[in-house]
Structure 1
Amino acid sequence: MSEPIKIDVWSDIACPWCFIGKRKFEGGVTEFQQDADAPEVIVEYHSFELAPDTPVDFEGSEIDFLAKHKGMPAERVGEMLEHVTGIAASVGLEYNFDILQHTNTVKAHQLLHYAKAQGIQLQAVERLLSAYFTEGRHLGRVEDLADLGAELGLDRDDVLRSLNEDEYLAAVRADQAQAQQFGINGVPFFVIDGKYGLSGAQDAGTFAQVLQQVRSERAEEISA
C-alpha cells in the first residue's frame, strides 16, 4: 500500500470561500482517486480567524459587517455576496446570507479540535459550515455549539464543559501560530504532503493535478 498523502487545511467557519474550497478540493480528491491504485488522502483542518475582534453577538447583517470591515458601500457588498452565492450554488451549496448570524468563531474552532480528539473532525467541519451558511445557526455561543455537537453524536454536557473551560484554546492558538510561520494570511489554504501550498478555492482539477504530482515524485524517489 502507498503511504497516504496528508493534506493540512487552514480554514475559518465564517469564510464563504472555505466551504466552496472544501467542495472543490473534495472533487479533486475524487478525480485523483479514480485510479484504483491512488494512495489514500488524509485531511486535517486547522484554525484560522479572519476577524478575531468580531463580537459574539454582532448586531447587524452580513452586509453591515462586511461594509464596515472592508470599507465598501453596502450596495457593492450585496453584489459581492450575490456573486459568491452563485459560485456556491455551482458546487451544490446553498448560501443564505439574509439569515446568517455573523459572530466570533474562536469557540467554533475549539469545538472542531474537540471533535478531532473524538475522531470526527471532518464531519464537524461539514456540519458547522452548513449550519452557518445554510441554516443561519449561531456559532458563537457555547450553548448553540453544544447543540451542534450533540447532533454529531458528542456528549453535549462534555462539549459545554470543554468550551467553557477553553480546553482547546491553546490548540487553536497553536494552529494560528503555525499559519503565521508558513506566511498564511488568507484562507482556505491547503498544504499538500507538507511541501506544496495552494491558496484559495482552486478548481478541482488543480487539486487533482497537485496530488498526482506528489504521487509521481514519490514514484521517482523509489525508482532512483
Structure 2
Amino acid sequence: MSTLRIDIWSDVVCPWCYIGKRRLETALDRFEHADEVELHWHSFQLDPSHPKSDRRPVFETLAKKTGASIAQVQAMSRQVSELAVAEGLTYDLKRAVSVNTIDAHRLSHLAAAHGLGNQMHERLLRAHLSEGEIVDDPDTLIRLGAEVGVPEAETRRMLDGDAYAEAVQADFLEARRYGATGVPFFVLNRAYGLSGAQPAKTFLSALRTARAAPATR
C-alpha cells in the first residue's frame, strides 16, 4: 500500500486555515483510500514581524494592518465566521488576541515528535479562534499541550530554550521554495499544490489525481 503524503502549511491564528482543515477532512471522509493518507503539518506565520509579548485584540490589529475601520473589520470577520459555521466550527473572533505565534509553532513541532501534530494544531486553532486563549502565554501553551498528551515538563523545557526554532524556520523556507505566500497551503505527494481553503470537492479531486500519479520523492 503506497502512502499519499499531504504537507500542510498553516498558522494557528488563521481563520481560513481552520476552515481549510475541516474541508480537507471532509474530503478525506469521502476518499476511497483515506487509510493511505499521511498528514504533515508545517509552520507558517502570517505576521512574523509581530513583536513578541505584544498582545492586542484581533480587530484592532486587522484595522491597523489593512487601514479599515473596526466596523469594517467586524463585518469581514462575521463573513468568515459564517463560513466556519458551515464547516461545523464556531468562531468567537471578538475575543481573539493577536500574538506572535513562534512559540505555538515550536509546541506543534514538539507535539509532532510525539505523534500528536494534527491534534496539537487542531487544539491551537480552536484555542485562538473559538476560545479567546492567549497562544503565546507559556502557561497556556503548557496546558494546551498537556490536553493532547504532550508532557508538561517537556513543553516547559522547550519554552525555556530555543528547541525547534530551527525546524520552524526550515518550514518557512520550504514554503517559500514552493512559492507559498499565504496559508493554508497544501502539497500532495510533493507535486500537487493547492492554495487556500478550497471546497471539499476540490480537495477530493486533488487526492484522486495525486494518488493516480507517481509520487515525487
Question: Which structure has the larger Rg over C-alpha atoms?
Answer: 1
1:221 maps to which residue? none
Aligned to 2:147: 151
Paired residues of 1:7 and 1:192 also in contact (CA < 8 A): yes
Cα 1:129/1:59, change in 2 over 3 Å = closer
Residue of structure 1 equivalent to 2:132: 136
Q: 1:153 to 1:39 in 2, by over 3 A?
A: closer
Deviation at residue 42 of structure 1 after TM alignment: 0.6
Query: Secondary structure in 2 aligned to 1:93?
Result: coil
Q: Name stretches of at least 5 consecutive residues in structure 2 with no aligned partner.
A: none
Aligned-pair identity in percent equals: 40
Aligned equivalent of 2:3: 4
CA distance in 2: counterparts of 1:58 and 1:83, whole angstroms: 27
Residue 134 of structure 1 deviates from its aligned partner by 0.9
* Preserved CA contact (<8 Å) 1:189 1:199: yes
Contact 1:62 1:100 in 2 (8 A): yes
Aligned partners of 1:42 and 1:152: how far apart in 2? 19
Correspondence 1:95 to 2:85: no
Aligned residues: 214
Measured in 2, the distance between the counterparts of 1:212 and 1:113 equals 29
Which letter maps to 1:45? W
1:24 is the counterpart of 2:23: yes
Q: Distance in 2 between matches of 1:52 and 1:4?
A: 33
Give the Cα–Cα distance (whole angstroms) in 2 for the partners of residues 138 and 10 of structure 1.
21
Cα deviation for residue 39 of structure 1 reads 5.6
Tell me what 2:123 maps to. Answer: 127
RMSD: 1.3
Instruction: Normalising by structure 2, report the TM-score.
Output: 0.94
State the match for 2:201 in structure 1. 205
Query: In structure 2, what is the Cα distance between the partners aligned to 1:217 and 1:157?
Result: 44
In structure 1, the residue corresponding to 2:19 is in which secondary structure? helix
Of 133-142 and 107-116, deviating more is 133-142
The alpha carbon displacement at 1:139 in A equals 0.5
Q: Output the amino acid matched with 2:49.
A: D
Q: Contact 1:29/1:208 (CA < 8 Å) preserved in 2? A: yes
Tell me what 1:222 maps to. none
SS in 2 for 1:10: strand
Unaligned segments of structure 1, at least 5 residues:
219-224
Aligned 1:64-83 pairs, distance under 5 A: 64-83=60-79
Deviation track 1:184-217 (CA, whole Å, cap 9, x = no partner) reads: 1000000011100000000001011011112233
Secondary structure of the structure 2 residue equivalent to 1:98:
helix
**Compared CA separation, residues 207 and 76, structure 1 to 2 (3 A):** same
Tell me how far apart the structure 2 counterparts of residues 137 and 105 of structure 1 sit (CA, whole Å). Answer: 12
Residues in 1 aligned to 2:88 and 2:184: alpha-carbon distance in whole angstroms: 18
Provide the C-alpha distance between the structure 1 equivalents of 2:110 and 2:193, rounded to a whole number of angstroms. Answer: 26
Offset of residue 70 of structure 1: 1.7
**Partners of 1:42 and 1:64 in 2: CA distance:** 38
Say whether the 8 Å CA contact 2:28–2:34 is kept in structure 1: no
How far apart, in 1, do the equivalents of 2:56 and 2:169 lie? Answer: 28
CA distance 1:211–1:85, change in 2 (3 Å)? same
Pick which of 103-112 and 47-56 moved more: 47-56
2:133 maps to a residue whose letter is R
**Which whole-Å deviations, capped at 9, do the CAs of 1:12-36 have from their partners, x for residues lacking one?**
0011000000000111111113xxx
Q: Aligned to 1:22, what secondary structure does the other structure show? A: helix
Instruction: State the distance in 2 between where 1:208 and 1:214 align.
Output: 10
